[in-house]
Amino acid sequence: MISLKQPSEPFDIELPYGVTVTVKPLTTAGMAAAQALARRRVEALEFQHKEMTEAGLPVDGLPDFADKAEHDGVFQDLLIKELAVRHITTWSGIEDDPDVTPENISAVMSLYPVGERFFQEFTLKQVLLTAAKNGSGLSAAGTSSQAEGPATAKPAKRAAAKSAQDADTP
């Protein structure tokens, strides 16, 4: 059974190759910040690609942003790394026990199954919460339901308007 309760304390995620990371819980602000930074980095790479192409320089090592799939893949890679850098606090299972630094975290997340699994496990609860919230639509018996009839309130009586006309007549 799975719990949809939001974690409020750091928790562990087991990753491939025997790596375990301890992460701070994901928040809306944390996800928004990571997405914004990943988007800005992709834009910077696109700008660099454009500048080099216009200057007639080789673009070796830069992604082909004309390919939508490659563009999306670069964004996903940068998003995973940014989430990891912002949220991983400790780890175990890494040879030579390197320090938890942004460079080292990015290197570990670059390993294919590690980064992908981190993203899936780290965002799983938020995805399930969102699905649970979106899973229940509007009530069929809500106030805008046709089952209630064409209107929910009766029209105001015109007696007050007629009384005002009678008062003006001599």
Residue 28 confidence (pLDDT) = 87
Cα–Cα distance, 106 to 81 (Å, whole number): 5
pLDDT (tens digit per residue) in 59-100: 888 888 888 999 999 999 999 999 999 999 999 999 999 999
Cα–Cα distance, 60 to 156 (Å, whole number): 74
Residue 94 confidence (pLDDT) = 95
Residue 145 confidence (pLDDT) = 46
Decide: pTM greater than 0.75.
no
pLDDT (tens digit per residue) in 104-154: 999 999 999 999 999 999 998 777 766 666 665 555 555 544 445 555 566
pLDDT (tens digit per residue) in 25-62: 998 899 999 999 999 999 999 999 999 999 999 988 88
Banded model confidence at residue 21, pLDDT cuts 50, 70, 90 = very high
Let me know the angle formed at the C-alpha of 12 by 111 and 134, rounded to the nearest 5 degrees.
Answer: 90
